[in-house]
Chains A and B, each alone.
Chain A
């Protein structure tokens, strides 16, 4: 029977479940890894879930974390109980308000899934850099180390803040806790009520602003009083530790779970002690228990209340026997004498020592030796072996200080040596690891599995999922543990009793069995039969199976799924296999529970779906076979190298290791010191993820270039070349005569880079040609990759040797012409069929060799800059887009800075050129300073001039010449593009965008408008249309989408275009070129279809057409200079709407969900949406003078 008091939860839900019930207002904004808390709060509110006082909390999404904090501040001053959920840069944006809230002694709790800060790189993963950056705000900081604690401390923090008036940050480790699933004991509403005294809440309300008893709060103070009044808060902070401890004691009485401000665990006579906070404490606890069992005098202190830091409670927690202490900080403070927790501990001990001589109150008899170290930054693993290494270091006479553990620092030698052989996991815990694809449902099935085991079967269970950084063909690794006792292993499994490989292709590319324990079960999803599969394995895998005596099982899960009507979703099949052979539960019981779970999951979808899944379960048992393992290796083929031998050294040694999954082993010396990485590394990572790829039909093709223009991944390239080049072509290399006049003896080839294709098939969709006999045929058709892979690889290799068409000869003004421009944005990890990347590829083709990109954080910064490989590339001359990401909120300003620097250096370079006239000669000087750079030919000539100038002054020992050489590149016109999504342009960066547009400077803003926060999982932005259902708009967006184009038009000095590449590629091309050519600010708003729209991406281009033809997305251009030319500045590029809005919206799940989400108002909302579209069209016609 299900135990209602226990449940499987991740840390985010565990925390939000309590926080939501204890507040009246949640002001939210999405940021990884805290978004889950905000999403749940929004969902619960839209479902009408009540807090413990019986009201439904108001949840409001703001334009940024700064906005959320401001709203919380206001709500608190209004007397409401208010909270927010955030992380990383989001917490930084809240800091100004946090000072305010704390300064005003206002009860509130901010819940933080602690995460790295963007420094040399952005990292979404967990550490304490963000909370450490906020530690001086005056908030109290309470730390949770596990999913259960995230649940419990959310309550303790709320109770304590109401009692103490000091606001709290309750934090837990991003991902390791926020995204770990574990079995927890739930707190009921009664539990919450027991710890929340309504009198405190009423007192909070009575301190609120109220015109019935007015006062002023938030004065400005002068030097005479500000200092004193700041000190007036001291007694409140002094009271916090005892308040928190007493609350914890009260909580213990209620639940039996006892916490202390500083929780010591380990040997009573421990001599070596670690001090740390967060999820690492769980692994330390396991390790300490193991070491103590083995007779080692060790222990550890888990810090729960970090601020106010109670030295008294810390000292009281330490065993008197302690001789040496290592304080572990999950943060880095470059230039400091130590990290914050270390310094707090040292200060506490030193102060106590100063007060009492060698005898320290709290029982410590002499001042222990204290060292500090860093661990676990950006979710770096923190394992028992690493913990052991720290304890071992403490045994040395002079243990290393300011050390690192978990990495190999071969530069400053800070790291401790770690023995990988030290493993302490008990055989009582069953450990299973599953390799899958994001698309195959492995993660979902595993989440379901631990619910079956952890909730239904009553065992303890833990799951943690690791993803690679690609959005298409992404690999997932699921780590699951089950056992009779609570599972505290906050690190990945390194020795698994069960390894499931759900994709056969993985055995050729990654070492899936390196984590298999001796005698483990290995389950392989394979298209080959049980008696053939062995022969298909690479040598390394066969060797591992034999050496480790693995029990090898196989099933053709795809076939079973297909035959039972489950299409390609193999999750049910593979989950059943796991239960059938893992022995975690008796097989009969396991199957019964799976079926029960299936019924629960699919009942709403109809009996047929339930029966299909039941059939799949039964068929799985019949089709699961154990493979007889031969006594010796028979394979001759080896696993494929991850990057080819001809790749640059950095790519082979560093990038290759990251691709292979061994990046953890790279030493510090491998890396650039400032986050600077080579461009264009994606070309070395041949992921070969699609089973279907396009095949060109030269006979049918009209060489229009549409397929290459739309291809989101740059895998379709065209070249023109003299026919004699074909003499060296491999057999089967495809070519055609050029379909244009004036190119005698010239051939045309359209080459598909099959290994880089994601299989989106947009090329086939956009092809305008149909076969004469078979109208289903296009001039480019998707075919099974295996049929053509080898020949295509040969052809691609040869194609790369063909000459590129000189840019000066390319017709930039037509889609047909641009196909001969080399894309310098290629093979990104964006979703298959991504709607954003074609625009980026286009600007890389048009302006790539002089392009600077400021990229706002979001999807485009992730597929644009996430290691291991990146898509912004270089041309054969070594030129290409210079790309950088600063932040989310500042991208417009960041790009403007680039422009200003370029303008300044251009002016400076011109000045120096003029100064060196005598040396350079009049003609060259005039050309360098004044030559037109509008056309590609102009730019080519300017490059030649710059080159000549360099040669002339290179050997001159003249200060002006040296300075000129340092900035000479700026004499070639730079194209500065500010790229980002709607979250940036409409919301968090809105003020910056507005300011930059008003600046008059020559920048080009490209807004990749997916109408939702795509990267963080589909939260609504101000670009989300009315009627669309999105996260944070679970009841459907009520407000109209902001018309950013009109806002910009209102300046009169901004070039503005609204484009949709799938609806009108030529208009897109025209707009991008006009924007770039305009010597002033330009704004191009680009319709970017997205999986978050709930569309079949295969039909995304049709949807773009519907968006345009329904008037939903009217194509327009506004050119500020047109009036001077006697033309109308506002051009409406769309024809009058010929479709009803409904014909567009009915094809997208985001709109279709509205009826479900908001049945009472859906009809009205969509009618209003149609009216708004019609109204806007009328206004646009007026503006266009039609």
Chain B
């Protein structure tokens, strides 16, 4: 229990630095309130994006400056807002208070806690809007960011500092991929700081995500920034920028972070709503003219800095929800052109039991092999091509004609490759087990295993290898290219296990 005299002593010490000089502030008067956008007269010295305070203490952000008026987005609920009320500028741009104390917390885009725990410790004020790092400060992406999902790490590898879009219809597992990527970061010796930005989501969905992260022990290195469906549109608009401002705090310290924007479609809707209320000219699909800039300036802040500038990185996983699998719509095409690749989820694959439902043909990582270790590269190199060949053959085989042995074996191999790439949710795999599985299937070691037993086989196979062949596991964990000797050892161990595998 803190003594009251100590509290008084602290307060007196704090007040020593207080200066009671008279204050001059730019003030305005509230003229109109339309759907969360306040039109205020005066405020001639207000800057674009400046934070303002209303009479009752509510915060706002200046979004439009015209000759006689300033349009302000209301960022928090204000019950006593009335016409003629005063609004003052604060002299600072909209920013968020960031410190390491944010790890494990759920906050709103203004930095206020939503998890019912203590106030966030005073840290550094990071600007919500900031210029992205320049070309000379960057270096090419060359360090892998492991998601723990075999299909992605093998064929669509993501590197630290990359922007990889996750795109698909509702309910296909976009958020699941992002959450698995976050959970998998605990495998690293030094976990990558993860930021999950929930934009326009249901509160129940955000609560489920937080619960899952807590259960898997991932909340220790994760920050959740939530602007739910019931929050004002300006708050939803600010949420991803608040998230990347937090990531930039860790970037300054030379650390790596992963940020998930879930999802940018709702972000675009929120910005459209604000722009229409501000009477900005509406363009295609009623989006404002700068809708591309909204996302490009956000995603450009994902960066891999060179060692001279700290060597840190921000990896971005934006999520876009399509309608009817239409990736040629306005917002999806915008974001596809900005990002360094996309992971395309398809409903046909999902319904046929292939989960994660990744369409390998339409998915790409523009960083490619630079973001893979030698081990993964050596086993996964052929996988994409083999799957593409299998897809062609499978269509041909449907006609029921007699096929030669080589074609039949290729079909069987393709089925097993597809089967090995299936993975249950919330079960990201460490790299050595991913390499093991893919090595086994691409080298034909699993050709004799029945398809129905595959998932069970893989699980028991992993347990067997960890228990009985730790040396192989340790060698695979080094991430180096698989040598001939190591390949032989894995083959022998796998054959031994196959004899003991019981259905």
Q: Do A and B bind each other?
A: no
Chain B residues in contact with chain A, CB under 8 A? none
